[in-house]
Amino acid sequence: MKDHEKYLHRCLELAALGIGFVSPNPMVGAVIVHQNKIIGEGYHQKYGQPHAEVNAVNSVFLRQLNAEELLKEATIYVSLEPCAHFGKTPPCSDLIIRHQIPKVVVGCRDPFVQVDGKGIEKLKSAGIEVIESVLEAECLELNKRFFTRIQKQRPYVILKWAQTQDMFFAPENGSKQWISDAISKKLVHHWRSEEDAILVGKNTAAADNPQLNNRYQPEAKQPKRIVLDRRLELSHQLHLFDQSVETLVFNEVKTALEGKIKCISLEDFDLFLPQYVLFQLYLQDIQSVIIEGGAKTLKLFIEAGLWDEARIFTSKARWGKGIKSPEITGELKSSITVGEDELVVISNKKS
Average pLDDT, the chain: 93
Q: Is the pLDDT of residue 263 over 90?
A: yes
Is 62 a known ligand-binding residue? Answer: no
Task: Choose which CATH entry (3.40.605.10, 2.60.40.10, 3.40.430.10, 3.40.640.10) describes domain 153-347.
Answer: 3.40.430.10
Is 204 a known ligand-binding residue? Answer: yes
Q: How confident is the model at residue 344 (pLDDT cuts 50, 70, 90)?
A: very high
Tell me which residues are annotated as active site: 53
**Averaged pLDDT, 201-205:** 94
Residue 150 · residue 111 · CB < 8 Å? yes
Q: Is the pLDDT of residue 85 over 70?
A: no
Mention every residue, 6+ apart, whose C-beta is less than 8 A from residue 54. 42, 89, 92, 95
Q: How confident is the model at residue 216 (pLDDT cuts 50, 70, 90)?
A: confident
Question: Strand 37-43 to strand 29-34: parallel, antiparallel, or no bridges (unpaired)?
Answer: antiparallel
Indicate the fold that domain 1-146 takes in CATH.
Cytidine Deaminase; domain 2 (3.40.140)
pLDDT of residue 125: 94
Say how far apart CA 255 and CA 351 lie, in whole Å: 30
Q: Is the pLDDT of residue 113 over 70?
A: no
Q: Where are the domains of the chain?
A: 1-146, 153-347
Say how far apart CA 112 and CA 258 lie, in whole Å: 33
Question: Strand 37-43 to strand 197-201: parallel, antiparallel, or no bridges (unpaired)?
Answer: unpaired
Say how far apart CA 71 and CA 52 lie, in whole Å: 16
**Averaged pLDDT, 22-44:** 96
Is 192 a known ligand-binding residue? Answer: yes
Say how far apart CA 207 and CA 305 lie, in whole Å: 27
pLDDT of residue 1: 63
**Averaged pLDDT, 198-204:** 95
Q: Is the pLDDT of residue 116 over 90?
A: no
